[in-house]
């Protein structure tokens, strides 16, 4: 019998399922400290946790530990790298809390719109302030959903019953999948300028940190409401503070830099503050507990590895090719446009890479969508693409092309109902270094995708490179390497340059406008 330690307040269904299988004994204790429990139960085979910190110290107290299951989606409290070094699989239960968060969004919107919280407080002290609590209806309003993953799509479904117009932004999801929940895909500027309510459901990373800042907030309607049940860092609190009074902006908040008692920096600008209650429902707790138990059984007795988030690459695959696949995906995604709705992903793995095609799909998906964990199993990558409504096509390769050990990646996006856009890149390793061999029709590039890189695609004509170099030089930015191929069939040229520092967006925009480029971006590779 394998001992499973559950040192948290989790629905009893997890223990019931595990013990009913006949393979496990369960110890559940949410009162004692994790360190004390680990010491007392050093023979534990598996841990099921919620927000408990699973540190190297805790792991070392459990020499027989083989699996840690996070009953929830986020696993930042678990040292996944150290766990892997000890041969321990870490799993999570994504989606178990999604409906709870979606319903919380609707609850916060309605509570704010009808002033339920202050009206209740007023009544309890004997007042009758009916005139002060004039509310507004949700019906007929425009609701924007930023991020259309599990939670975002559920918000759309739950709120559609209020006869709202739904707009959505997601740089990955296909338009077909968005239409299934009656959401019209658009850009962020349209959402912030046209929506009465804007609900945020995106990860916090380098691209999204401070995303809701002065530029977007300047577009908002008077009285617009922002709901943040995602991550604290995606909202620039100072930018909200600067425009809140003048625009009547309202902020409903459930997320913070740290989940703990104490003063919160957002308290002076949040109209509703909740203590991160998104997943705090009996049903979500039950779902997470059930999923945690089922995943552990499936891993042990069916070999299902889809929810492992710290999986090693298979034996025989050079990790450098995983880095190449991820880099090519990030580069291709930026050329295509990070706000373009993807429709199809096509891959070709040549030479000795062909047997590892499935595994190499994982870093590709992680390059397209930064919040997808690279430690996930390849089945999770396929499931993610399917969930987003993106077709995946693994192509058969022609060995006679002589590409050696190389990767070709094509991304196709939907420009509009009648037009598609496709970007294709091919890369390989040369003397151990990553090398981009081709971008679309521009072959034999031999460009090393490393460091700060800027790219411009434009109609070929004299003087363009001079403009680019001059603008960069005027900002103190030095060009370290450059490729500038020309395609005679389309009369287009590609300028891809390695520079010595990050190029601010305003400089990229200024260059793009002056040379009338079709695509322009900076990326750190």
What would the mean pLDDT of 488-507 be, rounded to a whole number? Answer: 92
What would the mean pLDDT of 290-309 be, rounded to a whole number? Answer: 93
Give tens-digit pLDDT for 155-169: 999 999 999 999 999
Tokens of 143: 């609701």
- Residue 238, φ and ψ in degrees, nearest 5: -65, -35
Q: How many CA atoms, within 13 angstroms, populate the side-chain half-sphere of residue 280?
A: 8
Q: Using 50, 70 and 90 to split pLDDT, how confident is the model at 306?
A: confident
Provide the pLDDT for residue 402. 85
C-alpha to C-alpha distance for 173 and 148, rounded to whole angstroms:
7
What would the mean pLDDT of 290-297 be, rounded to a whole number? Answer: 97
Q: Are strands 142-146 and 342-349 parallel, antiparallel or unpaired?
A: unpaired
- If we measure between CA atoms, which residue out of 448, 426, 422 comes closest to residue 435? 448
> Is residue 417 pLDDT above 70, yes or no?
no
Give tens-digit pLDDT for 190-221: 999 999 999 999 988 888 899 999 999 999 99
What would the mean pLDDT of 390-397 be, rounded to a whole number? Answer: 93
> Is residue 439 pLDDT above 90, yes or no?
yes
Q: What is the DSSP track for 154-184?
A: HHHHHHHTT--EEEEE-SSS-HHHHHTTTPE
Q: Under a CB-based contact definition with an 8 Å cutoff, are residues 239 and 230 in contact?
A: no
Considering only 51-55, 170-174, 471-475, which range has the smallest mean pLDDT? Answer: 170-174
Domains of the chain, CATH where assigned: 2-95+282-302 (3.40.50.720), 98-273 (3.40.50.720), 314-444 (3.30.1330.90), 451-525 (3.30.70.260)
Which DSSP state fits 54?
B
Report helix, strand or coil for 227: strand
Tokens of 217: 């907030």
What would the mean pLDDT of 415-437 be, rounded to a whole number? Answer: 87
Give tens-digit pLDDT for 91-100: 999 889 999 9
Q: Are strands 342-349 and 452-459 parallel, antiparallel or unpaired?
A: unpaired
Give tens-digit pLDDT for 71-127: 988 888 999 999 999 999 999 998 899 999 999 999 999 999 999 999 999 999 999
Crossing angle of helices 98-113 and 282-302, rounded to 10°: 160
Q: How many CA atoms, within 13 angstroms, populate the side-chain half-sphere of residue 78?
A: 25
Q: Under a CB-based contact definition with an 8 Å cutoff, are residues 108 and 251 in contact?
A: no
Angle at 230 between CA 229 and CA 231, to 5 degrees: 120
C-alpha to C-alpha distance for 265 and 236, rounded to whole angstroms:
11
> Is residue 338 pLDDT above 90, yes or no?
no
State the chain's mean pLDDT as an integer. Answer: 93
Q: Using 50, 70 and 90 to split pLDDT, how confident is the model at 380?
A: confident
> Is residue 419 pLDDT above 80, yes or no?
no
Give tens-digit pLDDT for 447-488: 999 999 999 999 999 999 999 999 999 999 999 999 999 988
Q: How far is CA 280 from the centre of its chain?
A: 22
What would the mean pLDDT of 139-153 be, rounded to a whole number? Answer: 95
Of 233 and 259, the one with more pLDDT: 233
> Is residue 54 pLDDT above 90, yes or no?
yes
């Amino acid at each position: 019998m394998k001992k499973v330690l559950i040192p948290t307040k989790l629905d009893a269904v997890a223990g019931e399922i595990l013990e009913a299988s006949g393979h496990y004994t369960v110890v559940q204790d949410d009162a004692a400290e994790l360190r004390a429990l680990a010491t007392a139960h050093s023979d534990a085979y598996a841990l099921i946790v919620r927000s408990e910190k699973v540190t190297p110290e805790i792991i070392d107290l459990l020499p027989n530990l083989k699996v840690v299951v996070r009953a929830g989606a986020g696993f930042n409290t678990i040292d996944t790298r150290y766990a892997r070094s000890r041969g321990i699989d870490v799993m999570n239960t994504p989606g178990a809390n999604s409906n709870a968060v979606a319903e919380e969004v609707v609850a916060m919107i309605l509570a704010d719109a009808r002033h339920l919280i202050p009206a209740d407080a007023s009544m309890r002290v004997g007042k009758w302030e009916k005139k002060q609590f004039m509310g507004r209806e949700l019906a007929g309003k425009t609701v924007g959903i930023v991020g259309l993953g599990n939670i975002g799509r559920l918000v759309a479904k739950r709120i559609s019953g209020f006869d709202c117009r739904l707009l959505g932004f997601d740089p990955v999801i296909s338009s077909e999948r968005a239409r299934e929940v009656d959401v019209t895909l658009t850009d962020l500027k349209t959402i912030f300028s046209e929506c009465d309510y804007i609900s945020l459901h995106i990860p916090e990373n380098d691209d999204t940190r401070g995303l809701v800042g002065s530029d977007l907030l300047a577009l908002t309607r008077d009285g617009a409401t922002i709901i943040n049940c995602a991550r604290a860092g995606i909202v620039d609190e100072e930018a909200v503070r600067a425009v809140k009074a003048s625009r009547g902006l309202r902020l409903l908040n459930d997320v913070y830099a740290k989940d703990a008692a104490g003063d919160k920096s957002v308290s002076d600008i949040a109209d509703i503050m909740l203590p991160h209650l998104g997943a705090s429902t009996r049903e979500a707790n039950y779902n997470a507990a059930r999923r945690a138990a089922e995943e552990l059984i499936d891993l042990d007795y069916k070999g299902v590895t889809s929810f492992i988030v710290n999986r090693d690459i298979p034996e025989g695959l050079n990790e450098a090719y995983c880095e190449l696949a991820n880099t090519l995906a990030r580069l291709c995604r930026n050329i295509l446009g990070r706000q373009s709705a993807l429709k199809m992903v096509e891959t070709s793995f040549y030479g000795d890479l062909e047997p590892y095609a499935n595994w190499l799909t994982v870093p590709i998906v992680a390059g397209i969508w930064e919040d997808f964990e690279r430690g996930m199993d390849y089945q999770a990558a396929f499931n993610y693409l399917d969930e987003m409504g993106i077709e995946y096509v693994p192509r058969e390769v022609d060995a006679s092309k002589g590409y050696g050990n190389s990767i070709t990646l094509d991304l196709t996006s939907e420009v509009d109902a009648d037009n598609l856009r496709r970007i294709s890149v091919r890369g390989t390793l040369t003397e151990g270094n990553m090398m981009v061999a081709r971008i679309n029709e521009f072959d034999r590039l031999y460009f090393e995708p490393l460091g700060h890189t800027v790219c411009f695609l434009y109609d070929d004509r004299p003087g363009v490179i001079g403009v680019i170099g001059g603008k960069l030089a005027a900002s103190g930015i030095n060009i370290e390497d450059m490729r500038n191929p020309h395609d005679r069939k389309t009369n287009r040229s590609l300028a891809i340059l390695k520079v010595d520092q990050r190029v601010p967006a305003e400089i990229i925009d200024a260059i793009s406008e002056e040379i009338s480029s079709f695509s322009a971006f900076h990326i750190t590779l």
